[in-house]
Amino acid sequence: MNGIALADGSIHRINCDEKRAVIFDIDDTLVDTNYRTLHILQKAGKELHLNALIELEYPKVDFFCSVTVKNAGIKDPALLEKICGHFDPDPRKNTMYQSVWGKSFYSDPEELHFDHVMAGAPDFVNRIMKETDAKIIYVTGRSEEQQTQGTIEELAYYGFPGFNGDQSACASLVMKPQSYLGDDTSFKKAITIALQQTGVTILAAFDDSASNANMFRDIFPAKVLVVRPNRNVADTAKNRPGIEQITNYYLNATVDAKTGVRSVSSNEDQLTDMIQRAIRIDTDGSLI
């Protein structure tokens, strides 16, 4: 495996030297991690003798562990802290990674087997790579020390470029080293700026986190696509203007805020339009 140091992360599998790139986050951008959380919390339920967690079902799983555990009916603050911990920007006060959920979610490669690929994701990533002639750069906050092998196996299993045996693929993987103490957003910002400084033109970035999407929107020229996968594309409250949303790479879902009624529609035209715009982005981020 090749590897070069880049800012605070490392790049694995350099297969090419492209000057145009598309960035993809992995968790909840290419794979649905709610199934991982579901498995971890059901397992925790057995260990802690909590029926509410043993009986947890997928629709109650949220991006946030604490919301999920509350959805299951557990409200005791001490128990919530034990199971989920809490995030604090000060690493000394951040208990998320030591919690029952956090230890497994962030560090146990076995748990990656419970992720489900997001609808249409492998085909779309292959397609945007080929049609834009760009390199795919997976930039993830997953632990480089603990999850590199599991991540490579997962990307290979689902057929993502760079790991699916296609030798013409142009892709690399950037993971967060344990020595990096900042949050995912600052890590991804450092990596992106380092890429730009080496002359790489970013055509688009896909990331489900509002914080990351907003960071990309802040540092990219207006024509560069910033796409945020979101289960409910009508939910834009946290997004800066100019962030586009999709539910997955097959359809968009909209949830009516008042009635909770969910409607879905194909987003094929939207995805095609995105690729067409990405093809036309010039080195300065304007349209050709």
| Contacting positions for Mg ion (CB under 5 A) | 25, 27-28, 208
- Nearer to Mg ion (CB atom), residue 25 or residue 111: 25
- Nearer to Mg ion (CB atom), residue 50 or residue 61: 61
Q: Least distance in Å: CB of 49 to Mg ion?
A: 32
Q: Least distance in Å: CB of 229 to Mg ion?
A: 8
| Distant-in-sequence contacts of 13-17, Cβ < 8 A, 24+ apart | 13/152, 13/162, 13/163, 13/171, 13/172, 13/173, 14/172, 15/162, 15/167, 15/169, 15/170, 15/171, 15/172, 16/135, 16/170
- Nearer to Mg ion (CB atom), residue 109 or residue 285: 109
DSSP state of 285: S
173/242 Cα distance (integer angstroms): 26
Q: Least distance in Å: CB of 212 to Mg ion?
A: 7
- Nearer to Mg ion (CB atom), residue 212 or residue 252: 212
Helix/strand/coil percent split, the chain, to 5: 40, 20, 40
The two tokens of residue 94 are 């951040």
The residue nearest Mg ion at its CB is: 27
Q: Exposed (0-12), middle (13-18) or buried (19+): which is 267, by Cβ within 10 Å?
A: buried
Q: Least distance in Å: CB of 23 to Mg ion?
A: 12
CA atoms within 13 A on the CB side of 214: 11
Q: Least distance in Å: CB of 25 to Mg ion?
A: 4
Closest CA to 25 of 212, 269, 234, 215: 212
Q: Least distance in Å: CB of 247 to Mg ion?
A: 14
Give Rg (Cα) of the chain.
19
- Nearer to Mg ion (CB atom), residue 18 or residue 27: 27
With contact defined as beta carbons under 8 Å apart, do 70 and 80 qualify? Answer: yes
Q: Least distance in Å: CB of 230 to Mg ion?
A: 11
The two tokens of residue 181 are 């103490």
What φ, ψ does residue 76 adopt, rounded to 5°?
Answer: -60, 120
- Nearer to Mg ion (CB atom), residue 154 or residue 208: 208
Q: Least distance in Å: CB of 207 to Mg ion?
A: 6
- Nearer to Mg ion (CB atom), residue 253 or residue 279: 253
- Nearer to Mg ion (CB atom), residue 27 or residue 32: 27
Q: 155: alpha, beta or left, given left = phi > 0 and alpha = psi -120 to 50?
A: alpha
